[in-house]
Each structure stands twice: as C-alpha cells, then as structure tokens.
Amino acid sequence: MTDSNACPGVAVVICTYNRNEALAVLLEALLVSVARVADRAQVGVVVVDDSADGRARTVVEKFEGRFELGIHYRISGQQNISLARNLAIETGSEIADWTAMTDDDCEPVPEWLEAMLDTQQRTGADAVTGRMVRRVPVGSPKWITEEPFLEYGQLQRFDDGAQLPFAATHNSMISSRWLKDHPTIRFRPDLGVTSGEDMVFYRTAHAAGLRIHYSQRALVYENEPSSRTTLSYWLRAFFWFGNTSYVTSVHNGTRPLRMFVHGVNSLRRALVRPIARLYRGEGPQIRYCLASVLYAIGVMIGLFGIRVRHPL
C-alpha cells in the first residue's frame, strides 16, 4: 500500500490467457494513461496469467521498471477466470489504494485513469466504472458493423457521475480498502468457466453497500481479433450471452420463471424484427436475427439447468 502522505496508488490488474500480442498493446496504452496522472497518482500493474506454463511472462518482463509501483506477475493457470480475478484483486489491493480492472484484449484511452480519479474525487465513490466499445480489424466483413453485433452486452451511456447498481470488470476501479473490509465478496469460482462472474461480483458488492459511479470519459476499446469476425463466432457468442444472462440474473435474485419469460419475449422480438425492418424499407439483417434467436434460446434453456461455456 502506498504512503498515506503521498499520492494515492492505483494498481491496474489484468487477467490474461494466451493473448500476448493484445496484452502488449494494453500495457503500452497504460503507459500513456499513466503519464497523464504522474503528478497525482502512483501506478503499478498486476498481470495474472491463466496459462499454466506462464506464456505471458516474456511480455511482462519487457515492461519491468516502467511503472512506479512495479509490474507484478502471478500465475493462476487453472483456466477459471474467477480464480484469476480473485488472485488479481488480492495482489492489487496489497500494493495500492485503488484497484483498477480491465481485460487483456482492451485498450484504454489516454485519459482513462485521469477520468477514473476525477470521478472518484468528485463523487466520493467506492468504485468507478465506464463504457467499453468493441472494434474489429480493418477489412472485417461489413455486416459486423452495419448490424448491431458489437453492441451486445455493453454498458449503456449514463449521465456523468451517475450512481449505478453494477459495474464492469473490463473497465472499473474499486477501493482496495473496501475489498479488504469485505473479504467474503469475491468472484465466484462456480461461474469461472461459464462467465457472468463479473456482474454477480459487482451486484453483490453493491448490495453490501459499495457506491458505484459512472464516468463518461473513462472509455476502453475492446480489440476483437480476426477470429471473432465470423458469423459462426457471433452465433455462439449470442447463444452463450443469453445463457449467462439467465445465470447471472438468477444469481442476482431474478426468479427463474421470469427469466424464461424474458427469453420467450426476446424470441418473439427477434422473429418480428426483420419483418418490421422490411416494412420500414430497411434491410432485414437476417444474421442479427439468427443471433438474437440464439440469444433467446440461450436464456430459455437456463431454466433447465443447462450452462454454456464461454466461446473464447
């Protein structure tokens, strides 16, 4: 933990799995963001590698000595994102006053940390969160951006400083003191393969009194690899997203039957959408229709205990 008389410390914690190139892009972007807060915060980085053979070590070593609070490398290696996230926040909360989280395929804007700190200081928040915008490589199929595929699961826009009951681990900062004072609130290992652990964590934390505020300027981009520019990937992703939406909502207190009805209504909207678009003289967006149908099915099968693994 940083000296109480010095600038506050921020530990940026990252879980990674077989994405060395993306991790390097993220760490370079962090250096730019860190430079903008050099006069008001000390920043360190924690990288938790979920590959058992330590594949990210070579990337981390290239950034030794470039962050004031150091870059700390840990291996989880169990291919369970909840266990990796728990190791990350435990390590981060020991070295800094604030624990900022993002994902290894994300790239924060230069003002990311500055915006997080501004919002926290202005609102007195225990945690700050912001938006993530997905990007695909140049030359990707046009339908990916012409149809709203990249918008799924994104945090919507809110008024700057708005108080929220949730946050996203790909873009958030939480008080290390709060984490230490609430040792039982951690990412659930039983959700570490199917995912949804992030929404359950923050919803549970909010119910325990965590004050979360939204920052409009704290933006990160998620850089999608070329392997995620195929229709088969997006169909699997929507199917999984529907299923994990069921799981996380039920964990957060929504009745299972209510979620099943939500799935039925989603299926109805998905089937009607192309017809409505044609009526308005717009393209039917059949690909997105198929993806939305699979989302609805993913929700509905949750009622029967079926759990879908993350598509990766």
pLDDT digits (tens, 9 = 90+) for 85-123: 999 999 999 999 999 999 999 999 999 999 999 999 999
Residues 107 and 196 in one domain: yes
- 93 and 213 in a single domain? The answer is yes
Matching residue, tokens 């039917």: 284
- The number of distinct structural domains making up the chain is 2
SS3 16: strand
Q: pLDDT band at 33, cuts 50/70/90?
A: very high
pLDDT (0 to 100) of residue 194: 81
Angle 209-215-216 (CA atoms, 0-180°, nearest 5)? 150
Q: What is the structure's pLDDT at 2?
A: 57
**Whole-number Cα distances in Å, 280 to 4, 160, 267, 268, 276:** 61, 34, 21, 18, 6
Same domain, 79 and 216: yes
- Reduced to 3 states (helix: H, G, I; strand: E, B; else coil), residue 297 is helix
| Residue 3 belongs to some domain of the structure | no
Average of pLDDT values for 1-23?
Answer: 87
What is the end-to-end Cα distance of the chain in Å, rounded? 34
Lowest mean pLDDT among 118-127, 145-154, 174-183: 145-154
Domain identity same for 203 and 259? no
DSSP reduced 3-state for 160: coil
With 0-12 / 13-18 / 19 or more C-beta atoms within 10 angstroms meaning exposed / middle / buried, residue 160 is middle
Q: Do 152 and 237 share a structural domain?
A: no
Query: Do the domain assignments include residue 309?
Result: no
**Which domain does 200 fall in, by range?**
9-228
The edge-to-edge listing of strands for the beta sheet with 163-164 is 71-75, 42-49, 9-16, 98-103, 171-175, 127-129, 212-214, 163-164
pLDDT bin (cut points 50, 70, 90) of residue 235 is very high
The number of beta carbons lying within 10 Å of the beta carbon of residue 269 is 14
